[in-house]
Amino acid sequence: MAKRRPPRILPTPSNDNCAICMSSFTNQTALPCGHLFCKSCIDEWFKQKPSCPNCYQTFGKMTGNQPFGGTMTTSKSSSSLPGYPGYGTIEIQYSIHAGRQTAEHPHPGQMHGGTSRIAYLPDNPEGREVLGLLRRAFDARLIFTVGMSRTTGADNQVTWNDIHHKTNRQGGVFGFGYPDETYLARVKGELKDKGIE
């Protein structure tokens, strides 16, 4: 079973303030998980992500804003990833073309860059399960988004959308590769946070 991330606690000076705007509640609203917010604040939050800002519980189907028209293809090789001897490797190839941002993106009408990314999974039962979940997330437009690149600082780029991928075959946790014995469980938790399970 995937280990869930601990709840994110947004800084709140007192229980009388909304954790989003940090001001006194305006038309206080409780989510089913019990966390309280201003109605207007949580309504705006839900336009981007239908989940609680504090505990990540998802309410309803989550759909992303990944640009349309991208592809996700896979191939397999017999070589093993570190930590998975005896299993082959699944290689995922993502491609998102450059295009014009829509109303769901940060700068509607402006152009955004494209991207091509490669990621790796072990070709074992759990790796194939994660591949199926990633496919569902890609189809729900949740794998990528448009924003500022964390690595280059360039704005209006197609970037990862908080679902971690192993983009190197080796290098361990800090090298975005293997071995990483908890990666598959962690990524299943990230996918579950987005309603993909």
Residue intervals of the chain classified under CATH 3.30.40.10 are 1-60
Distance, CA of 64 to CA of 49 (rounded, Å): 8
CATH superfamily of 1-60: Zinc/RING finger domain, C3HC4 (zinc finger) (3.30.40.10)
Q: What is the pLDDT of residue 10?
A: 44
What are the pLDDT tens digits along the chain (197 aa)?
444 554 444 444 456 789 889 888 888 888 888 889 999 998 888 877 778 888 877 776 677 899 999 999 999 999 999 999 999 999 999 999 999 999 999 999 999 999 999 999 999 999 999 999 999 999 999 999 999 988 888 899 999 998 999 999 999 999 999 999 999 999 999 998 888 88
Q: What is the pLDDT of residue 60?
A: 66
AA identity, residue 153: G
Q: Which position has the token pair 């295009």? A: 99
Q: What is the pLDDT of residue 13?
A: 40
Distance, CA of 76 to CA of 170 (rounded, Å): 17
Q: How many residues does the chain have?
A: 197
Residue intervals of the chain classified under CATH 3.30.390.130 are 71-193
CATH number of 71-193: 3.30.390.130
Q: What is the pLDDT of residue 11?
A: 44
CA 36, 40, 42, 47: dihedral to nearest 10 degrees?
170
Q: What is the pLDDT of residue 29?
A: 87
The closest alpha carbon to 155, from 102, 117, 110, belongs to: 110
